[in-house]
Chain A
Amino acid sequence: DSGVTQTPKHLITATGQRVTLRCSPRSGDLSVYWYQQSLDQGLQFLIQYYNGEERAKGNILERFSAQQFPDLHSELNLSSLELGDSALYFCASSKDRDYEQYFGPGTRLTVT
């Protein structure tokens, strides 16, 4: 158990819909990262937050947004969903930049 929690574990929704994925970092970690992993693909970095502020952006679509709340949990919002958004979405946390990242169990999103 990495100490990072993610909910829900599975999510099935229709095209055009909007969903919210939730992540709670390990105790003491201020930084949260979001990643997308499509079938048999590597991890694609989406976005990073540190202590409530956006710190780095990767290949995140405009239809996607995220935020980190004062209690340090983070949410990833995915809107106008398309079939191609079906993937595993992982959250990871770390103390700060250049420290090891611990991954959550992921949320499997299926868009039908």
Chain B
Amino acid sequence: GQQLNQSPQSMFIQEGEDVSMNCTSSSIFNTWLWYKQDPGEGPVLLIALYKAGELTSNGRLTAQFGITRKDSFLNISASIPSDVGIYFCAGQRNNDMRFGAGTRLTVKP
């Protein structure tokens, strides 16, 4: 299926800064998922969201399921060097699963 619109494509930040990325779609979804992928590795699930308006945290990560069910954002607070990687979103509705192209995060110490 069509990819989700994920932005920004890449980010270069200083250690300690906060990061925000988002995904939008023209379609509604029942579930929004956020993953982190290191080169050559499998994506690792960070946060799963199931209800419109839901705000969920996982340590320094916070994600929200947009009220329109067509968007989601992920925030990372106080970034550290190990946050480097590619983050991507996924939206699910029944058998339709779509992915964002990813946000490549670089953290400078």
Residues in chain A within 8 A of chain B (CB atoms): 2, 4, 33, 42-43, 45, 48, 55-56, 58, 88, 90, 97-106, 108
Contact = CB atoms under 8 A, between A and B. Distances in A.
B42 A105 contact: yes
Nearest to B102: A42
B1 A58 contact: yes
A74 to B, nearest CB: 15
Contacts of B35: 103
Interface in B6-63: 30-31, 33, 35, 40-45, 48, 50
Given A2-B44, A98-B93, A106-B42, A42 B3 contact: yes
Nearest to B4: A42
B59 to A, nearest CB: 17
A63 to B, nearest CB: 21
Given A42-B99, A42-B100, A55-B95, A98 B42 contact: no
Contacts of A88: 40
27 contacts: A2-B42, A2-B45, A42-B100, A42-B102, A43-B43, A43-B88, A55-B95, A56-B95, A56-B96, A58-B1, A88-B40, A90-B42, A97-B94, A97-B95, A98-B31, A98-B93, A99-B48, A100-B31, A100-B33, A100-B45, A101-B45, A101-B90, A102-B45, A103-B42, A103-B45, A105-B41, A106-B40
A103 B44 contact: yes
B107 interface: no
B97 interface: yes
Q: Which 4 A-B pairs have the closest CB atoms?
A: A56-B95, A100-B48, A103-B42, A98-B30
Given A99-B31, A100-B31, 8 more contacts: A90-B42, A97-B94, A98-B31, A101-B33, A101-B90, A103-B35, A103-B42, A103-B44
A88 B40 CA distance: 8
Given A43-B99, A98-B31, A104 B42 contact: yes
